[in-house]
Structures are given as C-alpha cells and as structure tokens.
Copies of this chain bind each other. A is one copy, B any other.
Amino acid sequence: MLSNRNLIEFTKIKSLQLPLDFHKGKYDTENLKAHDLENEFSLLIEKGIARENEKSLLEQVGPRITKLKFGNVELETPIFMPVGTVGSVKSLSPEDVYSIGYRVILGNTYHLNLRPGMELMRDFGGLHEFMRWPGAILTDSGGFQVMSLAKIRKITEEGATFANHINGAKITLTPENVVEIQEDIDSDIQMVLDECTPYPATHAEALASMERSMRWAKRARQARKKLNRAQFGIVQGGMYGDLRVKSIKQLIENDFEGYAIGGLSVGESKREMRRLLSATIPWMPENKPRYLMGVGAPDDLIDAILLGIDMFDCVMPTRNARNGSVFVRSSAAPTGKIQIKNSAHKSSREPLDSQCLCYTCKNYSRAYLRHLFVAEELLVFRLMSIHNLQFLYDLTHEMREAIRSGELFHSLPDIRRKYAPGSV
C-alpha cells in the first residue's frame, strides 16, 4: 500500500517546444490546427484579455514529460488514468490495472459518497485500503455526475441539490462538503466542485456558470483540513476561449497543486475541443500538472499531449471493452478498432493485436474472445478491458519516449497512423 504520502511532488523532466514548421501547419490534422495557438491569442488581444507582450507564453506550449510522486509511488506523465467509479476499475482487479503499468486511478466522488458511503470510508481509512489499490487515487468533484446522472437538480450559489440516481434521496453537494468527502476518501488528488457548463450555452450563460465555479473553487481551497493532499482547480468557460482564459487566471490566484480542464468532451466537435485547448493551455502554469478531464480517445490524447497536457481520464476504454469494442494498432485493423462480435473474427486464430503485449493478446485468439462475448461469459469483459487499457498505456508510453528522445515531431505521423488511423 501507498506509504509516506504527502503533497504531490512535481518535477519537469523534459519539454519540447512546438517546432516552427508545426506552426506552419506541417503537422496539422483535420482537427488540430497548429495556428489556432496564434489565432486564439489574437482574439484574446482583441477582447482586451491578453497583451501583446504575453505572446511569449505561446513559446512554452509543447509536449512534455513530468514526474509525479505520491509518497512511494512515482510515475511519469503524460499518462492516462483508468476510472474506478465505485472503487473498482470495472471488471478488473487492482493487480490487473497495476501490472499494465498504471499507478493512478480515478474514484468518483458522487458515486462513492452514495455507495459505500463515507462512514465506511472513514472506518477503512480511505479508498486505497478499502479497494486495496497500491497506487495513487484521484477523485473527481462530482460536478459532472450531478449534471449527467441526477434527474432533478437545482444549482444555487450554495451548491448543487439533486435527487440521487439510486434511491432518489435528496442530496446537496457544496464546495465544502465535497472537500470533506474527498478527505474521507483520502485521495491523493482531489478536484474542486465545479458546475459542468451545459452544452450548448450562450456566452452569458457560460460566463455566469464559470464565475460560480470559480467562487466555488475558492471556497473549496479554503475548506481543506488535510493540507497534505493535492487539490486541483478546474477550468470552465464552455466553448468560449476568452472565458477559459479568465477562468484559469482566477484559479491561479488560489495556488492549486494542479489545474484541470473541465467541460470538454461534452458534445462539441473534436475541432472545437482542440481550439479551446489551444486557447487555454498557454495560460496554464508550466510548473504544475495539467489534466484534461474525461478525454480518452487515442487521437484526442495525441493532440492534447502535443499541446502540453499531462493527465487524462475516461471511462471509454473499459466501457467500450464491455461493449465488445477494442482499440488496435492500424497494423491489426485499418480503422484502429475491432468490434469483436463481428463474424469476421469467428475463426480467427490471431490475437486482437499482434503487436500488443497485454495478457489478452499474449494468450487468446479473436475467435475465443468472440465466442466468450457471444456466450456472454464474464471473462471476456476482463480480457477486453485489459487490452484497451494496455493500448492507451502503450500510446502514452510511446509519446513519452518520443518526447524524451526529442524525436516526437519526427515520428508523429507514424504514431498517428499507428494508434489513431481514423484521425490521420
């Protein structure tokens, strides 16, 4: 188990500046336009939010390796973090997740607060011991679940009141009690309560929502009792770059241990998401972890890493796996995806991905996995989840090593073709 924990330790290991020809569009894809960085900055100057001399911030934008340390647990970013909603990365044991290489997983504040509840969390001294996870844990704020799961809800300045999705009982989450819950969970990285701005929203709606989230962030920062756990602020602002910049500037005043981008991957286009990342990232502190919430598609990971994001989470790899859908390298399927129930795999003695070294690919054929899936055998959900998590681990590993060697921009087209052929 994790010991000698204290505040997250953050070290920058290596960073690359986006090369000149990147700005000229050499590495552009349909979604990521390198010149967005400059365009978005110009818009901020027009609106009086940025000054010309702040343009040097753009030079700091680029992919990087950082080291995060939580007590005896150490890891390098960029990383993906598997989601263990109610204290279990769905269908997997802690060993399954750890042995792929993962060292941080997510727990969901909203879910854990409902079940098993905080009395048990306190009894066990936190989620690590309860679920026997030897790595670090990040807990989200609950804000996203209030929006996506609760049928009836009311947001006031005080917090969010809603009927929970299990028994309909009325619950109020406030910036303060969300800190308290996370301190009971004893997570290593705790997220402040935010309102995930509805999509779409007008500029005025997004502004009001963002400003409330920023007031909540300040209250959350003041509510802490355990000062030896990291707390991250969350940038909001809907689909408006100027609001995103206002948001990060206000957050920084609270000196959080890290900064997250929330409210993306909520229905907007990939193009839109990248534009907003381009607007926001230059303003995020260089010496703190940067976390893009709820994002896990291979092409999104690649592009966001290029812009300097360190951390990601998403239910997609494990949820897709349970639906029979896995990511594979383009050498295994030109689309980068396999739907295992497809009859094309009926007699295939091939693994899901012959270049993958996961437990599943080392041992099982597509024919066997398809058979288990059709027969609804529980083992298949575990096997497919292991593979999808290995895939995202390998992707971030390859990006990391390419940053370390300085060869990332050279190898980028190959990495894209290999891991995200659909986006090339």
Q: Per a CB cutoff under 8 Å, which of B92, B120, B375 touches A371?
A: B120
Q: A382 to B378, Cβ gap below 8 A? A: yes
Please give the distance in Å from A312's CB to the nearest CB on chain B. 23
Q: B86 to A116, Cβ gap below 8 A? A: no
Q: B363 to A132, Cβ gap below 8 A? A: yes
Q: Known interface pairs A93-B379, A371-B120. Does A364 touch B132 (Cβ–Cβ under 8 Å)?
A: yes
Interface string of A365-376 (1 = CB under 8 A from B): 101100110110
How long is the Cα–Cα vector from A123 to B90 in the complex, in angstroms?
33
Report chain B residues within 8 Å CB of A253: none
Q: Per a CB cutoff under 8 Å, which of B88, B120, B372, B383 touches A367?
A: B120
Please give the distance in Å from A123's CB to the nearest CB on chain B. 6
With CB as the reference atom, state the residue of chain B lying closest to A96. Answer: B379
Q: A86 to B130, Cβ gap below 8 A? A: no
Report chain B residues within 8 Å CB of A349: 123-124
Answer yes or no: A30 CB below 8 A from chain B CBs. no
Interface residues of A in 329-382 (CB under 8 A from B): 346-347, 349, 363-365, 367-368, 371-372, 374-375, 377-379, 381-382
Report chain B residues within 8 Å CB of A374: 115
Q: B375 to A86, Cβ gap below 8 A? A: yes
Answer yes or no: A421 CB below 8 A from chain B CBs. no
Answer yes or no: A87 CB below 8 A from chain B CBs. yes
Q: A90 to B378, Cβ gap below 8 A? A: yes
Answer yes or no: A131 CB below 8 A from chain B CBs. yes
Q: How many copies does the complex hold?
A: 2
How long is the Cα–Cα vector from A87 to B130 in the complex, in angstroms?
33
Report chain B residues within 8 Å CB of A123: 347, 349, 367
Q: A368 to B130, Cβ gap below 8 A? A: yes
Report chain B residues within 8 Å CB of A363: 132
Q: A131 to B378, Cβ gap below 8 A? A: no
Report chain B residues within 8 Å CB of A87: 368, 371-372, 375, 377
Answer yes or no: A91 CB below 8 A from chain B CBs. yes
How long is the Cα–Cα vector from A90 to B382 in the complex, in angstroms?
12
With CB as the reference atom, state the residue of chain B lying closest to A130. Answer: B368
Q: B382 to A88, Cβ gap below 8 A? A: no
With CB as the reference atom, state the residue of chain B lying closest to A363. Answer: B132
Q: A382 to B86, Cβ gap below 8 A? A: no
How long is the Cα–Cα vector from A90 to B379 in the complex, in angstroms?
7
Known A-B contacts: A115-B375, A132-B364, A378-B382. Give 20 more (CB < 8 A): A86-B371, A86-B375, A87-B377, A88-B372, A90-B378, A91-B377, A93-B379, A115-B371, A115-B374, A116-B367, A116-B371, A119-B347, A120-B371, A123-B347, A124-B365, A130-B368, A130-B371, A131-B368, A378-B378, A382-B382
Interface positions of A (Cβ within 8 A of B): 86-88, 90-93, 115-116, 119-120, 123-124, 130-132, 346-347, 349, 363-365, 367-368, 371-372, 374-375, 377-379, 381-383
Give the 5 A-B residue pairs with the shortest CB-CB distance, closest first: A91-B378, A116-B371, A88-B377, A86-B375, A88-B379
